[in-house]
Structure 1
């Protein structure tokens, strides 16, 4: 009987697959796909790229305001109710873009879309994985991002083809309805906040007896208290890291306009975004395994320095379609570190004691980046006529981020020396 139980697949793995599909479809069907609409919408409605991308900025402001509330709501209410309401807000608002004829429509509906997106694409993954996995945490996060990469490799070219053949209005509406229809059944049938709701212990916890479980849980929840962490240099370095890596990753929304601006068509842009998602897939698996083997610090520094390679290709030979596609793939590999290394760096720096509070506060850096970077890139393109200055900025940000990782771990050592890790 005991051996049968050991052979049985832990529910954590089933939840992980469902969670990965939910996050992957939400991100690629709504968030990432948004970039493919920018050029068709601006051309059709006569809107400037900077003006349209301001809706990303509004969404980021809403995210920044709502993130601290989101953590409390997840702790207080049924996760399934929260996620169902969230996907209706997120995908429903996205579908409404298909009916808009003025830029104000994007500004208005970006607000509920952002609120829903917080739970679907940002909070649910790290929080649920942290609850369900006390072992193989890095691998679980890597798998989640990797499955998102597989889904993205399929979804991005499909969206580009739909826009090319059916128009951007139809595609907005079809995506909104399709994403909702996929995610709601997943949430209802599989997603649960904690293993205890299924009568289980987290994966990696000893199951020899109640007292051992309590003891193991106590040992697992160690780290820096949120009140202390938020005042530390390590936290501010992490916050800045989140801001910069999100600013870098935000360029993904501009890849389609960048590609089309140098002569490629929307179908090629969609294929390039598909290549980016394959890079995300490989990066997610690599970073998860690397973090478990050599640590989050070394992995993060490696990722940031590798990011200089695609930027160099974009600056020197962007007109070569093969090299352009390779560069996009490497870029996807590197930006997968946002989904993989963000949560892992938080755990490595501050432990699991107050993880959700620390992560949700540090994630404000993600929102701040969206406020500045997404419309910023659009306005730079409108003013200069190209993305050249943006690319030089990306190169500088990769270097700064590598330094920030080192500073964050230096700050962690100070906290440990002060005896604040408990």
Structure 2
């Protein structure tokens, strides 16, 4: 038994693999999309609203495919699913470099978003939930921090590549790079369940070596059927909608900066600051959730979010303050990837976590349908992002009340005897 304790637990390989996977796909591909918008719209003569409509198409596909992805992850070999997902997402991203019409972005956003559902939203939280019982919040925070770290490195790299190689070559280079790295990482590290390695989840109650592979870890929480009748579920879905709508502003930061007279290199550095903030935020939120709970951590994040919005409304023409605002904004928006899964677990437990999370994450998809092109069309109509920033401030305030309402809903579930 003592020898078993000293072994390198496979859960750490899961953390490394999931972190690299999410880092390259979410911190790289997803976050880099906004850097291309000014160059593509100028070169092809496309309006910002029309081009960003492809984000809406991607969000619609995501909304449709989320429940399907949840069932597929539970049913099929997760490594094969994720390898296929990388080919779909990164391959479609590379194909954007060959397009001459906005219809190309509309078309390839479909397979890109199907792949991204698995890679950036579903697989990471499900794997961490399966493999870790100790410091789960910190582990999800580490995974999302790595995503922010990769984003901090890749964003200026993408900005410099667009400046030196053009947007077409940059799409292709980044897409191929992600496939070359993520496919072998997934193949060699990812396993769905500790049972595949004859192990208990990391941090589970100690059992003797003879029973480690067949002693179940009891899961507590509510079923999906019960959750669907709870006000907590719908409060959390709306919270996800607003926090994702807030985070969607990241795709418009380069255009916002461009409108203020900043160049593409500055935009790349600003997005690097955003991703650095996301790195620190992910770690901080994971740690704080383990210490003070998901509810209090989420409330802190929403109050803090009002600070960068105020800066961007009042002194965005100051480059130093602009950079400070993007760092704080990234810190707060890290709550999407970190607090989202942790709030779901805190409110509904782990009994049917994957299925409940797939339903809650619909708020993420709907937000992309509305917010991303909505911000683009507002910019086209007004020539400014001021009204968008005021709307984001209101969303932060509404989210404070939604968090309070969600945990009141959990208390009702407990009082009714459903949380067990």
Question: CA separation in 2, counterparts of 1:149 and 1:105?
Answer: 29
Residue in 2 aligned with 1:128?
Answer: 127
Please say if 1:217 is aligned against 2:210: no
Q: How does 1:286-305 map to 2 (within 5 A)?
A: 286-305=284-303
Question: CA separation in 2, counterparts of 1:39 and 1:341?
Answer: 31
Comparing 263-272 and 3-12, the one that deviates more: 3-12
* Aligned pairs, number: 419
1:231, CA displacement in angstroms?
1.6
Residue in 2 aligned with 1:175?
Answer: 174
Match 1:320 to one of 318, 322, 334: 318
Please say if 1:151 is aligned against 2:155: no
Would the alpha carbon gap of residues 312 and 155 (structure 1) be closer, same or farther in structure 2, given more than 3 Å must change? same
Question: CA separation in 1, counterparts of 2:115 and 2:213?
Answer: 35
Question: CA separation in 1, counterparts of 2:139 and 2:72?
Answer: 24
Question: CA separation in 2, counterparts of 1:327 and 1:185?
Answer: 37
Question: CA separation in 2, counterparts of 1:349 and 1:46?
Answer: 47
**RMSD over aligned Cα atoms:** 1.2
1:215, CA displacement in angstroms?
6.1
Question: CA separation in 1, counterparts of 2:154 and 2:33?
Answer: 12
Question: CA separation in 2, counterparts of 1:371 and 1:183?
Answer: 27
Question: CA separation in 1, counterparts of 2:281 and 2:121?
Answer: 18
Question: CA separation in 1, counterparts of 2:205 and 2:246?
Answer: 41
Match 1:362 to one of 352, 360, 363: 360
Residue in 1 aligned with 2:378?
Answer: 380
Deviations 1:67-110 (A, max 9, x none): 10001101111001100110101011111100001000000000
3-state DSSP of counterpart to 2:418: coil
3-state DSSP of counterpart to 1:223: coil
Q: How does 1:61-140 map to 2 (within 5 A)?
A: 61-140=60-139
Please say if 1:333 is aligned against 2:331: yes
Please say if 1:395 is aligned against 2:374: no
Residue in 1 aligned with 2:54?
Answer: 55
Deviations 1:364-406 (A, max 9, x none): 0000000000000000000000100000000000000111000
1:28, CA displacement in angstroms?
2.4
- TM-score w.r.t. the length of structure 1 is 0.98
Deviations 1:52-77 (A, max 9, x none): 00000000000000110001101111
Match 1:241 to one of 239, 242, 248: 239
1:153, CA displacement in angstroms?
0.8
1:347, CA displacement in angstroms?
0.5
Check conservation: 2:97, 2:172, Cα contact below 8 A: yes
Would the alpha carbon gap of residues 199 and 213 (structure 1) be closer, same or farther in structure 2, given more than 3 Å must change? closer
Residue in 2 aligned with 1:409?
Answer: 407
Residue in 1 aligned with 2:346?
Answer: 348
Check conservation: 2:195, 2:213, Cα contact below 8 A: no
After TM superposition, where is structure 1 displaced by more than 4 Å over at least 4 residues in a row?
210-216
Would the alpha carbon gap of residues 214 and 420 (structure 1) be closer, same or farther in structure 2, given more than 3 Å must change? farther
Question: CA separation in 1, counterparts of 2:419 and 2:26?
Answer: 35
Question: CA separation in 2, counterparts of 1:9 and 1:321?
Answer: 46
Check conservation: 1:38, 1:49, Cα contact below 8 A: yes
Residue in 2 aligned with 1:282?
Answer: 280
Deviations 1:226-260 (A, max 9, x none): 10101210000000001000000000000111111
Question: CA separation in 2, counterparts of 1:339 and 1:161?
Answer: 27
- TM-score w.r.t. the length of structure 2 is 0.98
3-state DSSP of counterpart to 2:334: helix
Match 1:311 to one of 292, 300, 309: 309
Check conservation: 1:206, 1:212, Cα contact below 8 A: no
1:6, CA displacement in angstroms?
2.0
Structure 2: tracts of 5 or more residues without a match: none
1:134, CA displacement in angstroms?
1.2
Structure 1: tracts of 5 or more residues without a match: none
1:339, CA displacement in angstroms?
0.5
Please say if 1:38 is aligned against 2:37: yes
Would the alpha carbon gap of residues 17 and 47 (structure 1) be closer, same or farther in structure 2, given more than 3 Å must change? same
